[in-house]
Amino acid sequence: MKAEQKVMPDAQSLIEAATEQFVASARNAIAKRGVFHVALAGGSTPKGLYQKLATSPYVEQIDWSRVHLFFGDERCVLPTHDDSNFKMAREAMIDHVPIPQENVHRMPTEEGVAPEVAIRYGRTLADTLDGAPLDLVLLGLGPDGHIASLFPDTEALDVTDRMVTSLYVEKFESWRATMTYPTINAARQVIVFIGGEAKAAIVKDITTDAVEGLPVQRLAPQGEYYWYMDKAAAGQ
């Protein structure tokens, strides 16, 4: 399934459009089902989104007591480590919005053993969602075409029998835990954020089919699927 591409003039416009989409998704889910389940991403554009969500008027437009935050992937570091996606999201947004702490479901990376982190987080997802899909999954795009921690040429790409899996990323010498394709693809809405000129080459390769088989190209969301880009990333 091809993504619907939304191209904004610049980085600030990209963040503003993403914030408005997040608010609309949250309000729609809460109105229909009484709860909003969203998986957060790491990266600079998502960080800008989280910071914007914590400001007026956006923060007042969401009933945060009905929001449940998850994380699409995480490095197996302490939640206070600078490489932690949770730490970034906490400093950018979580500490500044009225969300109950029990609604923030971070990966238990202090366990230190990636397979155990993945198993425990899979249980958390299953217990909290109770068979329902995530309402929204936010993703970044790496220059090698990876999304979440689904990196090229890793066994994690082929895991279909669990919601979360673990992997070792050789080039970063890093243990990770990541949501799997079935979890991401089942979401009601998937948004990939792509910002900056540094992403223009990979975007061109993907959109012109110059390369095939990249992790992002294996996405097949059952619900709405968007790419939010600025003109620099889109090569415009």
Map tokens 């230190």 to a residue: 112
The number of domains in the chain is 1
DSSP H stretches of helix in the chain: 11-33, 44-53, 85-92, 114-129, 181-185, 200-207, 231-234
pLDDT computed for residue 217 by the predictor: 95
Token digits of residue 55: 């400001």
DSSP H stretches of helix in 2-84: 11-33, 44-53
Q: Kindly report whether the global pTM for this prediction surpasses the value 0.95.
A: yes
**Type and span of the H or E element at 190:** strand 189-194
Digit-coded pLDDT (tens) for 138-153: 999 999 999 999 999 9
Q: What is the CATH number of the domain that holds 191?
A: 3.40.50.1360
Count, residues in the chain? 236
Domain of 199, in residue numbers = 4-234
Token digits of residue 217: 């190209």
Map tokens 């799997």 to a residue: 180
Digit-coded pLDDT (tens) for 84-122: 999 999 999 999 999 999 999 999 998 778 999 999 999
Closest residue by Cα to residue 138 from 180, 193, 206: 193
